[in-house]
Amino acid sequence: MQYHPLVTYPNPILRKKANLVGEITPEIEELISHMKTVMQQHNGIGLAAPQVGAPLQLFIVQEEDEVRAFLNPQILSSSKEQETDTEGCLSIPKLWVEVSRPHAITVSCLTPKGKEISLSLEGFSARVFQHEIDHLNGILIINRIPFWKRWKALRKYKSSS
Ligand code: NI
């Protein structure tokens, strides 16, 4: 497989729904390690496979001193309580927008070893996971804000890139 260094908006691959990962092959492990490199090069805290041109349900998250990978995630429940915070995205450089999301979620997914796990997350980590899972569904932060704010944000993005 050929991977991109980093795919940026408005590349259409970012709007596609990613496919489930079947078997965890050496190519998948290679993809994960490529994604770590790209995320660290750009000082990111999370990266989804479509952002390197791979339409697969896989993302990585920077945790304290390790990077963890999660496959085929499914959000099982979301809190009614919402929280608004500023988010950026490596695929839309230098754009920061206020995004409202559920404060807490539970997620089930696979580890790169094929183990099924479920996680209860809240606050910042719940936000990071929701942002990355959005990528797997072709949803970007600009799709999470009101249309008039999106128009303004994209005008600013286009004039700076
Ligand atoms: Ni992103």
- Return per-residue pLDDT of the chain as tens, 161 residues: 567 899 999 999 999 999 999 999 999 999 999 999 999 999 999 999 999 999 999 999 999 889 999 999 999 999 999 999 999 999 999 899 999 999 999 999 999 999 999 999 999 999 999 999 999 999 999 999 999 999 998 888 888 76
The predicted structure's pLDDT at residue 1: 59
Tell me, yes or no, whether 7 lies in a domain.
no
Structural domain span for residue 77: 12-160
Output the furthest CA–CA distance in the chain (Å, rounded).
45
Q: Is 23 a catalytic residue?
A: no
Q: Tell me the residues surrounding ligand 1 (ion) with CB < 5 Å.
A: 89
Query: Does residue 3 sit within a domain?
Result: no
Residue 4 counted as domain residue: no
25 located within any domain: yes
How far are the Cα atoms of 100, 109, 131 from residue 6, in angstroms, in the given order? 26, 24, 17
Closest to 41 (Cα-Cα) out of 29, 33, 53: 33
What is the CATH number for 89? Answer: 3.90.45.10
Record the pTM: 0.95
Whether residue 57 is contained in a domain is answered as yes
In-domain check, residue 131: yes
29 Cα: distance to centroid of ligand 1 (angstroms): 21
- Residue 14 CB coordination number (10 Å): 20
φ, ψ of residue 85 to 5 degrees: the values are -150, 165
What's the CA gap between 75 and 80, in Å, rounded?
A: 14
CA 18 to ligand 1 centroid distance, Å: 14
- Ligand 1 centre to CA of 19 (Å) is 18
Domain membership flag for residue 94: yes
Coil vs helix vs strand at 87: strand
Domains in the chain, number? 1
The owner of tokens 């409202």 is 100
Choose, from 29, 116, 122, 132, the residue flagged as catalytic: 132
The reported pLDDT for the residue numbered 2 is 64
Cα 131 to ligand 1 centre (Å): 6
